[in-house]
Copies of this chain bind each other. A is one copy, B any other.
């Protein structure tokens, strides 16, 4: 493929002037990750996707790590496109913010796994962050605690969604193998793990997304309860 031949594969033309831009490179990276998975995200393949040389990307990003950071940013931008906080509905706003992250991460699992450890609170999308703080205040959380609960919501959305994405990325076969490991493990010692054994039927039917939703509801219920306590003047602790 590197030696030009007289017939067959035409030698790739040189790319025109500003053919490559950071945006185009990030878009191509995301598409590559979505369609081919984590292992396919290499500079040679990215170059091929772009119709460019393997090293052309280095004219726009200092390193692959830098590119990953930009992909992570794109993910959050996509998550909060068109976002507007719900009016007079603090709980709806918080649910919306968390669901947006979850949906975006799960639909770009490979990119999400890459981004996961690289994103902390606030790489992007200040608007959503500001809305979370506003919602907590609207709920009636006293100011000193707002920052703490803000972090709870932000970390929940990002860390838990990243975890879901990680699970998604495993081959179906591996996921299946893990479930089997489980099943056989307590089948061999059913009386030693009686508690587990008796709920094993229920356990199989639970989807990871449902667990995410449940955890979020539990967190919001507690936040609502604390706000109510604060409003009736019963303090915190």
Interface residues of A (CB under 8 A from B): 113, 116-118, 120-123, 126-127, 129-131, 133-134, 137, 143-144, 146-152, 155-156, 158-160, 162-164, 166-167, 169-170, 175, 178, 181-182, 185-186, 189, 192-196, 198-199, 202-203, 206, 208, 210-212, 214-215, 217-219, 221-223, 225
In contact, A148 and B219 (Cβ under 8 angstroms): no
Q: With A126-B186, A181-B123, A219-B222 in contact, is A202–B144 under 8 Å at CB?
A: yes
Collect the chain B residues with CB atoms within 8 Å of residue A160's CB: 155-156, 159-160, 163
**A interface SS class:** helix
Collect the chain B residues with CB atoms within 8 Å of residue A149's CB: 214
The winner among A116, A194, A222 for most chain B CB atoms within 10 A is A222
The smallest C-beta distance from A167 to any residue of chain B, in angstroms, reads: 6
**Pick from B148, B193, B210: contact of A214, CB under 8 Å:** B148
In contact, B196 and A126 (Cβ under 8 angstroms): yes
**Pick from B117, B194, B223: contact of A166, CB under 8 Å:** B117
For the complex of A and B, 7 pairs with smallest distance between CB atoms: A117-B166, A159-B163, A147-B202, A133-B195, A218-B222, A130-B193, A147-B199
**Pick from B185, B192, B208: contact of A155, CB under 8 Å:** B208
Cα separation A95 to B186 with both chains bound (whole Å): 24
In contact, A215 and B150 (Cβ under 8 angstroms): no
Collect the chain B residues with CB atoms within 8 Å of residue A113's CB: 117
In contact, A117 and B170 (Cβ under 8 angstroms): yes
